[in-house]
Every structure is written in C-alpha cells, then in structure tokens.
C-alpha cells in the first residue's frame, strides 16, 4: 500500500509516519509539495499514484490566524480542496484532519458534539478548517475527515509547556471552564491506521482519546503523574483572553468511531504513556 503524507514534519505527521512505517510512504514537506498549488499537487500525485493521501499539513497557529486570514484560508481550505480534486481524479482515498474549532463550542458543557451537528465557528482557524471540510465533501467521495482536539505529541504542545512551567513556578493559573479530550498524536495515528485496515465507511469521524476533562484538571493530572509540586489555580476564560476565542465546549462524541470498531484509549492512559517517554 502506497501512502502520501503531506506536512510530514508536523507533530501529528511524525506519529503517523511511525505508525505506518511498514507501508510504502512518500513523505513531503511544504518545500517538496505545497498543497496550495494545484498544479504541483496534480503532477506529484499523478507521478506517485498513492492509494492514500494523509493530509497532515495545516495552518495551526490559532491566534495568528486572526491576522493572517488569507494564508490560513489558503492552507486550510484551498489545500484540502486541491488534494480532494486530485485524489478524486487519481482514485486515491483522502484522509484529512480537522478540529473541534469547527463548532463554536457554545453548547452546554454537559453535552457533547456528534459529527453532523450544526457548525458555528467564530475563529478564522475554525472557519477556514470548516471550509476545508466542505471542499473535500464537494470534491470527492473516498474521504475520511477525522476531527480531533487538544493534540499533543512530539512537538510544542500543552503538556510540554505545563511540565516546563510547573518546574519553574510554585503556582499556575489554568483555565477551568473549557471542556474537551486531550489527544495523544500516537493514538490518533493508530486510529488512522485502524480505519485504513478495517476499511470503515467513508465520512466524518470524531477522533480524540476517550474521556472529558478541563485544562485545569488535565494540568493537575500532568503534575500528579510527573510528581511536580506546583499549585494549580482554576481561572475562567475571561481572565485569560487570547486573540482567538477558545471553545468552551470541545467535547466530541466518539460513538460513531467506536461503533465502526475502532479501539480508542482513555486520555489518562494516553497521558501516562506520553509522560513515560517525555520524562525519560
Ligand atoms: N495541534 C492541535 O492541538 C490540533 C487540534 C485539533 C486539530 N488539529 C489538526 O491536526 C492536524 C495536524 O496538526 P499538527 O499540530 O500536527 O500541525 P503542525 O505541527 O503545525 O504541522 C503542520 C504542518 O503543515 C505544514 N504546512 C504548512 N503549510 C503547508 C503547505 N502549504 N503545504 C504543505 N505543508 C504545509 C507545516 O510546515 P511548516 O512548519 O514548514 O510551515 C507543518 O509541518 C492539522 O490539520 C490541525 O488542524 C490540531
């Protein structure tokens, strides 16, 4: 099986490369394949003839996107559109990664979001990622859109930041009114692999680790496992204003994914495995 991975040096891509190491992989970074250039995408895919294209490329700077609207739209909307058009021409399956930000996050936090619920993004990142999803749906049939959230792995991420801050400081303020599922890139890569192997039905799936928490509770868990003595104070989103509004509710229901027979670990288990490597 031949698999093309775009954005191959990103955080998720590193985990995907490792998970699929026994397959024939074609790895491209932006210099080798800029997904916003349809001629380049067409020429490359036509030459390589992959069975799958896994799009790990994205514009992921959520706050900067509020200013760099055109660039965010090019990478997050035009890029996936180009890949979908060409995947359809070459009969390849497109696997694309999307985000909880496509929902506005205003739903009561006692409830979670199913795949087809109304979208109401109010950040440039969320709006452009939703445009990317729609472009794929409009351009091809053989696609998976895997929406994830709160991703961490081999790259700059929340867990690494908290480990560093926790070692430096005696106490930390962490937002306690945003709810979601931290997701280990290694586990998302395994979900992608299982989806390919099992040939689950095409479509949109929510793909985070199981279980819900808040950034505040998650930070306490990180410090507990890492045995870091740092007091964590709960604060509200209003006390922690950022250029792009954070969704209060990022809870993505995994019912559809589990029904498709995919195994998904709990976020606590994922965190233990990640910290074991990170603290070595
Ligand atoms: N990180 C999270 O918390 C999170 C949460 C939910 C969903 N997601 C989604 O998960 C996916 C993977 O995220 P990630 O955190 O692994 O991202 P990442 O580490 O920021 O990697 C994205 C990669 O895309 C590359 N890229 C940017 N523009 C490109 C272009 N025009 N053509 C080809 N490659 C390009 C980047 O290269 P350069 O670095 O050279 O620019 C980078 O290597 C994304 O779709 C993201 O939206 C992430």
Q: What is the pLDDT of residues 63-99, one digit of tens each?
A: 999 999 999 999 999 999 999 999 999 999 999 999 9
Contact by Cβ (8 Å): 77, 26: no
- Indicate the pairing of strand 231-235 with strand 183-184: unpaired
Which of 10, 36, 78, 185 has the most ligand 1 atoms within 8 A of CB, as the residue to mutate? Answer: 10
Query: Residue 152 is encoded by which pair of tokens?
Result: 């961490």
Question: Choosing from 113, 125, 152, 184, which is the catalytic residue?
Answer: 125
**Which residue minimizes the CA distance to atom 5 of ligand 1?**
149
Q: What is the pLDDT of residues 187-244, one digit of tens each?
A: 999 999 999 999 999 999 999 999 999 999 999 999 999 999 999 999 999 998 999 9
Q: What is the pLDDT of residues 95-145, one digit of tens each?
A: 999 999 999 999 999 999 999 999 999 999 999 999 999 999 999 999 999
Q: Where in the sequence is the domain holding 121, given as residue range(s)?
A: 2-157+181-209+251-265
Give the model's confidence band at 40: pLDDT under 50 very low, under 70 low, under 90 confident, else very high. Answer: very high
Which of 14, 27, 60 has the most ligand 1 atoms within 8 A of CB, as the residue to mutate? Answer: 60
Residue at 258 is within a domain: yes
Which residues does residue 146 pair with via DSSP β-bridges, in sequence order?
97, 205
Distance 119 CA to ligand 1 centre (A): 22
Residue at 233 is within a domain: no
Ligand 1 atom at shortest distance from the alpha carbon of 37: 31
Residue at 166 is within a domain: no
Q: What is the pTM of this model?
A: 0.98
**Which residue minimizes the CA distance to atom 18 of ligand 1?**
10
Residue at 36 is within a domain: yes
Residue at 64 is within a domain: yes
The pLDDT score that the predictor gives to residue 11 is 98
Question: What CATH code is carried by the domain that includes residue 98?
Answer: 3.40.50.720
The pLDDT score that the predictor gives to residue 113 is 98
Residue at 280 is within a domain: no
Q: What is the pLDDT of residues 144-178, one digit of tens each?
A: 999 999 999 999 999 999 999 999 999 999 999 99
Instruction: Count the domains in the chain.
Output: 1
Query: Residue 171 is encoded by which pair of tokens?
Result: 């106490």
Residue at 223 is within a domain: no
**Which residue minimizes the CA distance to atom 15 of ligand 1?**
11
Pocket of ligand 1 (CB under 6 A): 6-7, 9-12, 29-30, 34-36, 56-58, 60, 75, 79, 97, 99, 129, 148-151, 155
Query: What does the pLDDT average to over 254-259?
Result: 98
The pLDDT score that the predictor gives to residue 138 is 98
Residue at 98 is within a domain: yes
**Which residue minimizes the CA distance to atom 44 of ligand 1?**
58
Whether 52 is catalytic: no
Distance 10 CA to ligand 1 centre (A): 6
């Amino acid at each position: 099986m031949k698999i093309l991975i775009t954005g191959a040096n990103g955080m998720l891509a590193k985990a995907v490369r490792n998970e699929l190491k026994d397959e024939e992989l074609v790895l491209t970074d932006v210099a080798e394949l800029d997904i916003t250039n349809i001629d380049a995408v067409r020429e490359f895919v036509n030459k390589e003839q992959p069975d799958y294209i896994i799009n790990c490329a994205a514009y992921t700077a959520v706050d900067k996107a509020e200013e760099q609207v055109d660039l965010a739209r090019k990478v997050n909307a035009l890029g996936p559109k180009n890949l979908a058009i060409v995947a359809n021409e070459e009969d390849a399956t497109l696997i694309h990664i999307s985000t909880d930000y496509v929902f506005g996050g205003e739903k009561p936090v006692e409830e979670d979001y199913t795949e087809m619920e109304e979208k109401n993004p109010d950040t440039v990142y969320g709006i452009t990622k939703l445009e990317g999803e729609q472009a794929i749906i409009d351009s091809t049939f053989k696609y998976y859109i895997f929406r994830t959230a709160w991703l961490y792995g081999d790259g700059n991420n929340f867990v690494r930041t908290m480990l560093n801050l926790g070692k430096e400081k005696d106490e930390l303020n962490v937002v306690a009114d945003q709810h979601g599922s931290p997701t280990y890139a290694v586990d998302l890569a395994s979900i992608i692999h299982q989806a390919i192997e099992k040939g689950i039905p095409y479509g949109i799936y929510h793909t985070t680790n199981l279980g819900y928490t808040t950034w505040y509770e998650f930070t306490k868990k990180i410090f507990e496992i890492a045995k870091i003595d740092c007091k964590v104070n709960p604060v509200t989103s209003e006390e922690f204003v950022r250029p792009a509004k954070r969704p209060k509710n990022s809870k993505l229901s995994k019912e559809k994914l589990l029904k498709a027979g995919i195994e998904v670990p709990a976020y606590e288990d994922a965190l233990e495995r990640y910290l074991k490597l990170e603290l070595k």
